C-alpha cells in the first residue's frame, strides 16, 4: 500500500474543499494510504509567475522538507504539479546541497489522473455520470505534464483524463472545435490583463456551448474557477465540476437540483 502525501492547492483548500475530499476518496478506493500534511503551504507559483523568485524559494524548500518522507505525492492540479516538477529546479541548482534530495522527490510528484493511470494502472472507473461532459485541458497539464496529446503535434491522440472519464456509464464526452485552447486564467494574467482573460474565457465557453456541454470539467480547479465566474455572470446553463468530483461519484446537475427541492 503506497503512502501518499496529498498536496492540495491553496484555492482548493480555501474555496473548493470537496475537490480535496473527492481526491482522498479516489486514492483510498485504489488502495492508497493517504495523509494530508497540515504544515504544507502554497507551492510558490503565484510569486514565481510575477517575478518574485527570491520570495518563492523558501516555499520550495519547505515543500521538499514536508513531502520527502512519502512514497508518492499526488495533487489534483496540473498547474501546481508542473510548478514542482518543471520549475523548482532553479531553486535547487546542481551544485547545491539540496539538489539530489529534490531530484529524488520530483520523480515521485504526480497529478491525480497521471497517478491513477501511470502509477496505479487504473484503466477504468466504476460509476455512472449520465451527462454531456466537456473536457477543458489546462495548459500546464497538457504541455508540461503531457496528460494528453496537443493538436499541433503529429502523433497518436491520447488523454489520460479522457480515458478515465470515458469509462463511466452513461457519460457522453462532447467534441470541441479547439480542444486544447487556453481558458485565459493564467493566474496573475487574469489580474493584469482582465479584458483579454475574460474574452479568452468566453471563447472557451462558446466552444462548449456549441458542443452541447452540460458539465464542464478539468484537472485544474483554477481554470474552472475562472470559467465558473463567467458562467455565473452570463447566466449560462452549464455547471463546472473538477475531474475528482466526477470520478468520485459526486451528483450531477439534475441530481443536485432534485435534492434541493
Fold of 3-119: Rossmann fold (3.40.50)
Q: Is CATH 3.40.50 the right assignment for the domain spanning 132-259? A: yes
Name the average pLDDT for the chain. 93
Calculate Rg over the CA atoms of the chain. 18
**Any idea where the domains of the chain sit in the sequence?**
3-119, 132-259
Give the rounded percent of residues in the chain with a pLDDT score beyond 90. Answer: 82
Q: Reply yes or no on whether the pLDDT at 222 is more than 50.
A: yes
Q: What does the alpha-carbon distance between residue 8 and residue 17 come to, in Å, rounded to a whole number?
A: 9
Q: Which residues contact 79 (CB under 8 A, 6 or more apart)?
A: 9, 45, 138, 140, 141, 187, 220, 222
pTM score, whole prediction: 0.93
Same fold, 3-119 and 132-259: yes
The pLDDT of residue 105: 96
39, 6 in Cβ contact below 8 A? Answer: no
- The residues with which 172 forms a beta bridge, in sequence order, are 132
The pLDDT of residue 49: 83
pLDDT one-digit tens code per residue, 36-52: 999 999 999 988 888 88
pLDDT one-digit tens code per residue, 44-81: 998 888 888 889 999 999 999 999 999 999 999 999 99
Among residues 119, 117, 66, the alpha carbon closest in space to that of 247 is found at: 117
Amino acid at each position: 500500500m503506497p503512502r501518499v502525501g496529498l498536496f492540495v492547492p491553496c484555492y482548493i483548500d480555501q474555496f473548493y474543499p470537496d475537490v480535496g475530499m473527492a481526491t482522498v476518496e479516489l486514492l483510498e478506493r485504489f488502495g492508497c494510504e493517504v495523509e494530508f500534511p497540515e504544515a504544507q503551504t502554497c507551492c510558490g507559483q503565484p510569486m514565481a509567475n510575477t517575478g518574485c523568485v527570491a520570495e518563492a524559494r523558501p516555499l520550495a524548500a519547505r515543500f521538499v522538507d514536508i513531502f520527502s518522507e512519502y512514497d508518492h505525492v499526488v495533487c489534483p492540479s496540473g498547474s501546481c504539479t508542473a510548478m514542482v516538477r518543471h520549475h523548482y529546479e532553479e531553486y535547487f541548482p546542481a551544485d547545491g546541497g539540496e539538489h539530489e534530495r529534490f531530484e529524488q522527490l520530483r520523480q515521485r510528484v504526480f497529478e491525480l489522473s497521471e497517478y491513477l493511470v501511470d502509477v496505479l494502472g487504473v484503466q477504468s472507473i466504476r460509476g455512472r455520470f449520465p451527462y454531456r461532459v466537456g473536457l477543458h485541458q489546462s495548459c500546464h497539464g497538457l504541455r508540461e505534464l503531457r496528460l494528453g496529446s496537443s493538436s499541433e503535434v503529429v502523433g497518436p491522440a491520447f488523454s489520460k483524463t479522457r480515458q478515465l472519464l470515458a469509462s463511466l456509464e452513461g457519460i457522453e464526452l462532447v467534441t470541441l472545435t479547439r480542444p486544447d485552447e487556453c481558458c485565459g486564467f493564467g493566474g496573475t494574467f487574469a489580474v493584469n490583463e482582465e479584458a483579454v482573460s475574460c474574452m479568452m474565457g468566453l471563447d472557451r465557453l462558446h466552444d462548449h456551448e456549441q458542443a452541447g456541454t452540460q458539465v464542464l470539467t478539468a484537472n485544474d480547479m483554477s481554470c474552472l474557477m475562472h470559467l465558473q465566474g463567467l458562467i455565473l455572470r452570463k447566466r449560462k446553463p452549464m455547471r463546472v465540476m473538477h475531474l475528482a468530483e466526477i470520478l468520485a461519484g459526486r451528483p450531477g446537475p439534475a441530481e443536485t437540483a432534485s435534492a434541493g427541492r
